Structure 1
Amino acid sequence: MKTIYSIALVLFLASCGSSEKPADKKAELEQLKKERTALNGKIEQLEKELGQSKSQADIKEVTATELKETEFRNFVEVQGKVDAEDNVEITPESPGSVTAIYVKVGQNVSRGQVLAQLDDKVLRQNIAQLQTQLELATTIFNRQKNLWDQKIGTEVQYLTEKSRKEGLQKQLSALQSQAAMNKIKSPVSGTVDAMDLKLGQSVAPGSPTGIRIVNASRLKVKALVSENYAARVSQGDDVEVSLPDVPENLHTKISFAAKVIDPISRGFNVEVKLPPSKKYRPNMLAVLKIIDYKNDKALTVPINAIQKSEAGEYVFVAVNGKAKKTDIKTGKVSNSQAEVLSGLKSGDKVITTGFQDLNDGDSVKL
């Protein structure tokens, strides 16, 4: 603009400073037209340069993400703990004092294996006495049977000896069963995880003995899920199990989901079976991410790129160097990504940064 003013000033001074009138008015007019044409050309050039500078200043630099169909998952995240399928604290079946202990901590045991012995001295004496009586009764019965087979003697004598022998057999069987209850046995196969039992210690049914058997090859994760998700979580759902202390992530399925809501916690239990591993231990912390929704061909946008107005949600899409305001409808949100249900298509370039001061139709540079 300074150049324009300078040219005009020069022309003004030239016209004022010349006291002599041109001899030829026609020549003077032609000269002025030429100067005007040159001046108009310079004005147009300057206006063009200024216009380009202004348009360059109006272009805003932005970052855009091209939409592509992708896998979308929505999670229900809960915290649980590792538990053993077989995690048993042993209690005796009969009262008595400990006379022998046959296992130690860390030892592998099988189901039915005797872990400890309770005092059964009196029972063993009674069993020995009954066995002697039974042997005699059996001998008498056999002889009486031989006589009865030969039609010697009476049927009453035969039946009496038979009844006496069978009665002693039942008594002996009962005593042997009672004696077996004085042996503390393992109800499951596994490893002795604790052994606090001492020789001479008195134990009773229902009271813990300090013996714990754990089968570490059959572990599971147990978690409590709020009743709010009762309609979204069920048996067989895909789940991602995270064990922060290992650390390790597993992709598996829910093996069990309770049908009953606990009235106190207002939740229901879910279980996930774990593969055998020496890394896993009962009561270890676990995090479950239960997949309650999935879409293998979803379009997603970052939630921070979505803006809201009275009409609803919208984003800016870069189209031929211009920002286009596009209304959208979103679904679920997961990992800072929102599922787009309508308004966008694959290939659209959604502006993700620099959209704060944009208006519909603004020029943009990616």
Structure 2
Amino acid sequence: MKTLLYTITLALLFASCSSDKPKDKKGELEQLKKQRTELNGKIEKLEAELGQNKTKTDLKDVVVSELAETQFRNYVEVQGKVDAEDNVEVMPESPGTVTAIYVKVGQNVSKGQVLAQLDDKVLRQSVAQLQTQLDLASTVFNRQKNLWDQKIGTEVQYLTAKSQKEGLEKQLAGLKSQAAMNKVKSPVSGTIDAMELKLGQSVAPGSPTGIRVVNASRLKVKALVSENYGGKVNQGDEVTVSLPDVPANLNAHISFAAKVIDPVSRGFNVEVKLPSDKRYRPNMVAVLKIIDYRNDRALVVPVNAVQKSETSEYVFTAVNGKAKKVEVKTGKISDGKAEVLSGLKAGDKVITTGFQELNDGDNVKL
């Protein structure tokens, strides 16, 4: 009997548990479904709000430049110096001792003007002696000529007197030319830029006297250009001359371009004439920007706006409020600008600032 009661009790207990358990799960499931519906609504609402905010916050500020045809120049830049067309150190024509100096530093002189005198005492004495002999020979010749005109005397006497006179004249002219070589003269017109010659100093041909004459009204810029540009830089090319120490910038043309490449420097010399200006001085540093390429209808963009991938170059343009990636082909680069050969056209708006983190299709604010 006890066993039977125990069995019945267990059966009732199991039945009670089995009936309560499904009932609890069903209610729990219904409750979860209700919560899920409420959560889905909240999620959809939040997603919509977040989507609107994302659209607003994803607008990236950029600066654009509208392309237009313009002049483009590529330059060969070299450094040179200012030099004078007439910048000479005066040298004597004969050896001697300085007996007089007639000029000083800063004085303007003309071509052929005597700057200093060398000792010519012996020559002057020889000239005086020869002049006396010439005077006598001239008197004898004149008298002999008068006699010959009257058919008195012989022709030999007349010719002898004439020969003596002409010979002395030539000797005297030679002595005077030699005496003139003892005068130190300026070979050009200009200003005495240096005067280191001293009285009593001995000088000789080929050795400097310490006198420099400069014509500052005729200046030029000289520069050495690499042989790599031998086929691009020629006489007559446009050039921009910059003098940082003045400062000054001016446009000019190459007045001279050497045809021979220097075997040591592997370059060739070019010269550009400068206008007269008291601010310009010989040996000033000058920078030449020689135009070696030009395009009067070029499309150009800042060189830093051009980005590179493994296979191409590209820029970002702004189209209807979105960034558009455009592949381009660039040419020459000068002064921070790149020439665009293909990929863009006039009127395109190229993003020049704010392109670093852009992707194709991003929303942008101009």
Structure 1 match to 2:150: 150
| Residues 169-178 or 44-53, more deviating | 44-53
Map of 1:145-294 to 2, 5 A cutoff?
A: 145-294=145-294
Give the SS at the match of 1:330: strand
**SS of match in other structure, 2:283:** coil
Structure-2-length-normalised TM-score: 0.86
Q: Displacement, 1:165?
A: 0.7
Counterpart of 1:55? 55
Structure 2 residue 59 is the aligned partner of structure 1 residue 76: no
d(CA) in 2 for partners of 1:84, 1:232: 26
Call closer, same or farther: CA 1:99–1:52 in 2, change over 3 Å: same
CA distance in 1, matches of 2:99, 2:354: 81
Shift of 1:290: 1.3
Secondary structure, aligned partner of 1:75: strand
What is the SS of the residue equivalent to 1:215?
strand
350-359 vs 159-168, greater mean Cα deviation:
350-359
Secondary structure at 1:218's aligned position in 2? Answer: strand
- CA deviation after TM superposition for structure 1 residue 345, in Å: 0.9
AA in 2 matched with 1:140: V
Q: CA 1:43–1:124 in structure 2 vs 1: closer, same or farther (change >3 Å)?
A: closer
Aligned partner of 1:64 in structure 2 is 64
CA distance in 1, matches of 2:249, 2:288: 10
Partner SS, residue 217 of structure 2: coil
**Distance (Å, rounded) in 2 between the aligned partners of 1:139 and 1:180:** 27
Report which of the two structures shows the higher radius of gyration computed on alpha carbons: 2
User: What CA distance in whole angstroms lies between the structure 1 residues aligned with 2:350 and 2:211?
Assistant: 64
Aligned equivalents of 2:193, 2:356: Cα separation in 1: 61
**How many percent of aligned residue pairs carry the same amino acid?**
79
**Structure 1 pair 143–279 and aligned structure 2 pair: CA distance change class (3 A):** same
- CA drift of 1:159 comes to 0.9
1:92 maps onto 2:92 in alignment: yes
CA RMSD of aligned residues (A): 2.5
Counterpart position of 2:110: 110
Task: Find the counterpart in structure 1 of residue 351 from structure 2.
Answer: 351
State the Cα distance separating 1:363 from its structure 2 match. 2.6
Give, in whole Å, the separation in 2 of the partners of 1:144 and 1:365: 114
The letter of the residue matching 1:62 is V
Paired residue type of 1:314: Y
Residue 85 of structure 1: SS of its match in structure 2? strand
Matched residue type, 2:310: E
Per-residue deviation at 1:218? 0.7
CA distance in 2, matches of 1:131, 1:43: 129
| Amino acid aligned to 1:223 | A
Q: Deviations over 1:116-172 (max 9, x none)?
A: 111111111111111111111111111111211222211111111111111111100
Please tell me the residue identity of whatever aligns with 2:69. Answer: E
Task: Provide the C-alpha distance between the structure 1 equivalents of 2:43 and 2:110, rounded to a whole number of angstroms.
Answer: 103
Give the match for residue 29 of structure 1: none
For 1:85 and 1:150, the matched residues in 2 are separated by: 62
1:2-17 correspondence runs (5 A) = none
**Tell me, which stretches of 5 or more residues in structure 1 are unaligned?**
1-11, 17-35
What is the match of residue 130 of structure 1? 130
Q: Distance in 1 between matches of 2:51 and 2:123?
A: 113
Rounded to whole Å, the distance in 1 between the matches of 2:91 and 2:346 is: 65
Distance 1:118 1:58 in 2: 91
Of 67-76 and 162-171, the range deviating more from structure 2: 67-76
Structure 1, residues 45-65: CA drift from partner, whole Å, max 9, x if none? 766544433433444333222
Quick one: structure 1 residues 103 and 40, their matched pair in 2 at CA, closer, same or farther if it must change by over 3 Å? closer
Judge which range, 173-182 or 296-305, deviates more. Answer: 296-305
**d(CA) in 2 for partners of 1:162, 1:126:** 22
Partner of 1:33: none
Residues 266, 40 of structure 1: alpha-carbon distance in 2 compared, 3 angstrom cutoff: closer
> Following TM superposition, by how much is the alpha carbon of 1:251 offset from its aligned partner in structure 2, in angstroms?
1.4
Give 1:271 deviation, angstroms.
Answer: 0.8
Letter aligned with residue 337 of structure 2: Q
Which residue identity is paired with 1:168? L
C-alpha separation in 2, matches of 1:273 and 1:301? 34
Determine helix, strand or coil for the equivalent of 1:359.
coil
In 2: Cα distance, 1:185 partner to 1:213 partner: 11
Instruction: Name the counterpart of 1:363.
Output: 363
Whole-Å Cα distance in 2 between the matches of residues 69 and 159 of structure 1?
89
Q: Residue 316 of structure 2 aligns to a residue in which SS?
A: strand
CA gap of 1:145–1:68, structure 2 versus 1, over 3 A, is: same
Separation in 1, partners of 2:349, 2:363: 14
Q: Cα distance, 1:42 vs. partner? A: 9.2
Q: Give the AA of the match of 2:345.
A: K
